[in-house]
Amino acid sequence: MNMEFEAELVSRFFAALGKPCAWISWTPSLPNAPLGEWVESPEGALYLRVGDRLGVDGTPLAPGERAFLTWVLSSSRGQGDAEPVARLRQCAAEDLVAAAAGLACAEPIEQVAASLPLSACPAHLVAIEWTTRVGGAAEHRESAEMVKKVTEAYVEVGAWHLSSHLSMAIASVPRAALRHAWLSLGHAEMDVRGISALAEQIASALRSEAMVDARVAVSGVIRTPQEAAAGVATLELARREAVRRNTEAAVFGDDPVRMALLWLDEPSRRAYLRAVSAISEEETQDWPAGWGEIAEAMVRSNLNISEAARSLYMHRNTLLARIEKLRDVSGFDVRRGTDAFALLAAATLLRGQSALE
């Protein structure tokens, strides 16, 4: 059962009782409870965790009503929830981040990593979700085969993992195959933006040729088989980011500032934003024009000046001159990861936006 169905079920439950359904964001300040469990806030409110970042205030419910809602959620889980991929969706973000960092690995992540046939490393995992057609097992198999056919027209897939119950397929794609697919479309050398554009093209082709609305998520690079669990974690983080942005494609690492700020706990996030917001507009008046865009390009290109210059449609030497001027007047050198990251976040704040938007 997917998260959207659980949210709809909870909403209808409250409506049937004639009680307000107050949704809350499941922030790091709340306990890291499994989905479907109740926790008590420091203020005494009772919250039910419905999704990774979503909860509902169940304080207005009577004890028997809360117990019944818990039973409804647990008993409504379909057979597909026994699949490792389905269980992966219920992992807390903290567990996914830990696995992506190569730390402790939660059981569902290990199970998915063990169940996926990994093609020759280095490789990426590509998850494709599509709208469920009305019909039975035959229609499900037909749509899955169509998704495979359209995807393989764009990129060489090393191996597939098809869910028997979810409208979802995971492809293991050698990094060399991704690069070849990108270059064959007439583009320049591939970077993370190239992978993002390729994922968007695949989603667009699935919509026009397979007649399904699809969402494509791409993991970070898996360099060795021992990194399979970390790759699975980055794939799920990218999938959730696509859902959060309501976009048809997302690649792990395509927006590192946004993702990292989402992972920070609340005190760390506030401290970091306070630090970068110390850069004022008056202080930046003498900085080279477009310093925020330069910082963003450097972050997205993994500090590769040539790739950053291409993304800015600028000659490498011109970009290098601006980087050195920025260093001379500001003290920040975007060739260093910490400086580039700080300037990108500061530019976001100075544009009057939330760093999480």
- The number of C-alpha atoms within 13 Å of 21 and in the hemisphere containing its C-beta is 16
What pLDDT does 1 receive?
Answer: 43
Domains present along the chain, CATH in parentheses: 3-77 (no CATH), 84-253 (3.30.70.270), 261-350 (1.10.10.2840)
- Classify residue 138 as exposed, middle or buried by CB count within 10 Å of its CB (0-12, 13-18, 19+): exposed
Q: Bigger pLDDT: 320 or 114? A: 320
Lowest-pLDDT choice from 32-41, 117-126, 345-354: 345-354
Q: Is residue 339 pLDDT above 80, yes or no?
A: yes
What pLDDT does 52 receive?
Answer: 67
Kindly compute the dihedral angle of the four CA atoms of residues 150, 154, 158, 160, in this order, to the nearest 10 degrees. -20
Identify the band that residue 112 occupies on the pLDDT scale cut at 50, 70 and 90: confident
Q: Is residue 283 pLDDT above 90, yes or no?
A: no
**What's the rounded mean pLDDT across residues 326-340?**
86
Q: Is residue 78 pLDDT above 70, yes or no?
A: no
- 357 to each of 268, 345, 348, how far by Cα in Å? 18, 11, 9
Predicted confidence (pLDDT) per residue in 285-314, tens digit: 788 888 889 998 998 888 889 989 998 999
Q: Show the beta-strand stretches assigned E in 95-153.
A: 123-130
Q: Is residue 318 pLDDT above 80, yes or no?
A: yes
DSSP 178-191: HHHHHHHTT--S--
Per-residue tokens: 51: 């999704």
Percent of the chain past pLDDT 70, that is, above it, reads 83
Q: How many CB atoms are closer than 10 A to CB 230?
A: 25
- 28 to each of 6, 52, 104, 268, 286, how far by Cα in Å? 21, 11, 18, 11, 39
Q: Is residue 319 pLDDT above 90, yes or no?
A: yes
What pLDDT does 80 receive?
Answer: 46
| Highest mean pLDDT: which range of 158-167, 243-252, 339-348 | 243-252
Q: Is residue 128 pLDDT above 90, yes or no?
A: yes
Q: Is residue 355 pLDDT above 50, yes or no?
A: no
Distance, C-alpha 338 to centroid of its chain: 22
Give dist(CA 23, CA 290) in Å, integer: 40
What's the predicted TM-score (pTM) here? 0.63
> Furthest-apart CA pair in the chain: how many Å?
70
Which DSSP letter does residue 20 get?
-
Query: Whole-number mean pLDDT of the chain?
Result: 81
Residue 23, beta-bridge partner list: 56
By the 8 A CB rule, do 130 and 106 touch? Answer: no
Q: Is the dihedral of CA 241, 15, 35, 77 positive or negative?
A: negative
What pLDDT does 315 receive?
Answer: 93
| Highest mean pLDDT: which range of 13-22, 43-52, 81-90, 163-172 | 13-22
What pLDDT does 126 receive?
Answer: 94
What pLDDT does 254 receive?
Answer: 81
Percent of the chain past pLDDT 90, that is, above it, reads 16
What pLDDT does 132 receive?
Answer: 58
